[in-house]
Homo-oligomer: A and B are copies of this chain.
Amino acid sequence: MLNNKMTELLKIKYPIIQAPMAGGVTTSKLVAEVSNSGGLGMIGAGYMTPIQIRKQIQEIKQLTSNPFGINLFVPNDFNVIENQIKLSNQILDPIRQQLHLHQKDGFEIPNFREVFEIFTEQIKVVMEENVPICSFTFGIPSKEVIAELKQANIILMGTATTVREAVENELAGMDIVVVQGSEAGGHRGNFIDGNQESLVGLMSLIPQVVDNVSIPVISAGGIMDGRGLMASICLGAKGVQMGTAFLTCLESGAHQVHKEAILNANDDQIVLTRSFSGKWARGIKNKFILEMQKNEKLLPDFPVQNTLTHDIRKSSATQNNQEFMSLWSGQSPRLAKNQTVESLIKSIIGEAQKLNLGI
């Protein structure tokens, strides 16, 4: 009953994808365990170097013979504005003090050419290592990159937050489109529409996208159990991509403080912020978000702000202090559990089968 065009295309048993969370969450163990349990494990490689990527791919191949995937960030040009950086550091310095960090004068501000070169290298590794599935966030790669990957028989998945973005993904040749509802944790994937316009809830987003594209649609955002899977299927999706639900699993590499923060959070504590990275993202409200809130819109672009807050996030994590970490979470923290990947997937399928939808 749960087999469809999407599971066939990805050669997986269940229509469940583990969201490619960046920043160390998607350990080889997590990715392999998801694939071994019948879902699709994904490496969140957005911030990884080509060397790290190759190493992790090879590790995962040792742990599973099932398909797995990888996600890359499509580089977008960004502004580097001296005054924004100054302002940001003025606000960040008192926070650094609280964490006993040195104030920063100079920064290695990323530049677009470097970011783009890393992306090109990342793509090369994905091809050389024959990763069967590659997904993209923050945009659509160039025609040339898409052609190369398709030539190598790699299944491509794009990310969309509106109908327009989904249609663009289909036109560009993506095999599958992941629609990210406003419920989703972590970074917003919008790349055409503005932030407000792209905050569409899945109840609205899935059917409108399904009516306007012919490739399989995967829903992402706030889905944690069999109820969310079956609701997505009713709305026309072929499967789900789940982040937060996997983040709190035993096999995930998320910091223990992050896992516990989600397990203890309520729905009304999850907010949007651009203070950590310069890009809008959803997570648990903490001191950092509250202190940055007033100036949120004046902060530097992604990835500049991300670079500026790096020391703070890192030191906060080392000190087990949840107040200055980016505690990404979708809007359903009350449904999160600390369990193994296997038991998560089994319980989703069990619940879905109890709902007994004859489609």
Contact = CB atoms under 8 A, between A and B. Distances in A.
Contacts of A221: 201, 203-204
Contacts of A269: 197
Contact of A162 (B198, B222, B267, B356): B267
Contact of A182 (B182, B198, B207, B355): B182
Contacts of A202: 201-203
A163 B227 contact: no
Nearest to A244: B204
A335 interface: yes
Interface in A185-238: 193, 196-205, 207-208, 211-212, 219, 221-225, 227-228, 230-232, 234-236
A357 B358 CA distance: 6
Contacts of A271: 196-197
Contact of A193 (B211, B232, B268, B330): B268
Contact of A228 (B212, B235, B356): B235
Contacts of A314: none
Contacts of A346: none
A28 interface: no
Interface in A310-346: 330-332, 334-335
B207 A225 contact: yes
B267 A332 contact: no
A331 B204 contact: yes
A293 to B, nearest CB: 10
Given A225-B207, A227-B235, A234-B234, A331 B268 contact: no
B230 A203 contact: no
A70 to B, nearest CB: 26
B203 A201 contact: yes
A332 B162 contact: no
Nearest to A198: B268
Instruction: Sort A-B residue pairs by CB-CB distance and give the 9 closest, nearest first.
Output: A201-B201, A204-B222, A204-B331, A183-B201, A231-B231, A231-B234, A230-B234, A204-B332, A356-B358
27 contacts: A162-B267, A164-B266, A164-B268, A181-B203, A182-B182, A182-B199, A183-B200, A183-B201, A197-B268, A200-B268, A201-B221, A201-B222, A201-B331, A202-B203, A203-B222, A203-B223, A203-B228, A204-B222, A204-B267, A204-B330, A204-B332, A205-B267, A208-B334, A211-B334, A227-B234, A234-B355, A234-B357
